[in-house]
Amino acid sequence: MTQPYLDPSVSAEAHDAGESAALSQDEALEREVDAMLAAGALSGTAAQFAQPRGADMLARTAAVEGWHNQRAAHQLWQYSRSLEGAPYPIASIRDEAGQGARGINFASQDYLSLASHPAVAEAAARALRDAGPHSAGSAVLLGNTKLSLALEEAIAGLVQAEHVALFPTGWGAAFGAITALVQATDHIVIDQFAHASLRQGASSATPNVVINRHLDVAHVRQLLAGIRARDTEHGILVVTEGLFSMDSDSPDIAALQASCHEFGATLLVDVAHDLGALGANGGGAIEAQGMLGKIDLVMGAFSKTFSSNGGFVATSSRSVKRHIQLYAGPHMFSNALSPVQSAVILECVNIVRSDEGKSLRSDLLRNAESLRGLLAGEGLTCMGTPSAIVPVLIGSEKVSRLVGKLLFNQSVFVNQVEFPGVPIGASRLRLQLMANHNMQQLKRAAPVIGTAVTRARQALAAGEARNK
Ligand X SMILES: Cc1ncc(COP(=O)(O)O)c(C=O)c1O
Report the nearest approach of ligand X to the CB of residue 171 (Å): 4
- Give the binding range for ligand X (CB under 6 A) out of 12-20, 58-66, 170-178, 334-342: 170-178
**Number of Cα atoms under 13 Å in the Cβ half of residue 18:** 1
Instruction: Determine, following the binding rule CB under 6 A, whether residue 169 of this chain makes contact with ligand X.
Output: yes
Pick the closer one to ligand X by CB: 220 or 301. 301
Query: Do 364 and 431 touch, CB atoms closer than 8 A?
Result: no
Which one of residues 101, 114, 285, 301 is an interface residue with ligand X (CB under 6 A)? 301
Residue nearest to ligand X (CB): 170
How far apart CA 442 and CA 437 sit, in angstroms, is: 7
367 binds ligand X (CB under 6 A): no
Nearest CA-CA partner of 193 in 177, 213, 219, 173: 213
Q: Is 387 in the site for ligand X (CB under 6 A)?
A: no
What is the total count of residues that contact ligand X (CB under 6 A)? Answer: 15
With 0-12 / 13-18 / 19 or more C-beta atoms within 10 angstroms meaning exposed / middle / buried, residue 468 is exposed
Which residue type sits at 49? F
Give, as ranges, the residues between 58 and 117 that touch ligand X (CB under 6 A).
none
Residues 424 and 400: their CA atoms lie apart, in Å, by: 12
* Interaction between residue 174 and ligand X (CB under 6 A): yes
Beta strand 266-270 with 297-301 is parallel
Quote the CA–CA distance of 416 and 155 in Å, as a whole number. Answer: 32
Q: How far apart are CA 91 and CA 96, in angstroms?
A: 16
Stretch that binds ligand X, among 120-128, 155-163, 303-311, 339-347 (CB under 6 A): 303-311
259 near ligand X, judged by CB under 6 A: no
Question: Which residue's CB is nearer to ligand X, number 148 or number 245?
Answer: 245
Residue among 191 and 452 whose Cβ is closer to ligand X: 191
**Is 171 one of the binding residues for ligand X (CB under 6 A)?**
yes
Residue among 155, 166, 267, 272 that touches ligand X (CB under 6 A): 272
Shortest distance, position 215 Cβ to ligand X, whole Å: 14
**What minimum distance in Å lies between the beta carbon of 275 and ligand X?**
11
Which of 81-89, 268-276, 281-289, 452-460 is the region at the interface with ligand X (rule: CB under 6 A)? 268-276
Residue at 433: amino acid letter: L
Residue closer to ligand X (CB basis): 171 or 413: 171
Radius of gyration of the chain (CA): 23
Among 352, 270, 268, smallest CA distance to 305 is for 352
- Which residues in the 213-252 window bind ligand X by CB under 6 A? 241, 245
For residue 298, state whether it binds ligand X (rule: CB under 6 A).
no
Q: Which stretch binds ligand X (CB under 6 A): 301-309, 357-365, 421-429, 460-468?
A: 301-309
- Our CB check for ligand X shows the closer of 417 and 453 to be 417
Give min distance, CB of 167 to ligand X, in A.
Answer: 8
Range in contact with ligand X (rule: CB under 6 A) among 126-134, 269-277, 341-349, 421-429: 269-277
- Distance in Å from the first CA to the final CA of the chain: 37
Q: Are 366 and 327 in contact (CB under 8 A)?
A: no
User: Of the ranges 64-72, 265-273, 319-327, 413-421, which one interacts with ligand X (CB under 6 A)?
Assistant: 265-273
Provide the sign of the torsion angle of the four alpha carbons 144, 272, 297, 420, taken in this order.
negative
Q: Is 296 in the site for ligand X (CB under 6 A)?
A: no
CA distances from 103 to 70, 204, 400 (A): 26, 41, 19
Whole-number Cα distances in Å, 404 to 74, 183, 220, 444, 455: 12, 42, 36, 17, 12
- How many Cβ atoms sit within 10 Å of the Cβ of residue 464? 13
Residues whose CB is less than 8 angstroms from the CB of residue 327 and which lie 6 or more positions away in sequence, other chains included: 179, 180
Bridge partners, residue 190, by sequence: 211, 239
Stretch that binds ligand X, among 154-162, 163-171, 256-264, 313-321 (CB under 6 A): 163-171
Which residues lie near ligand X (CB under 6 A)? 169-171, 174, 195, 197, 241, 245, 270, 272-273, 301, 303, 309, 311
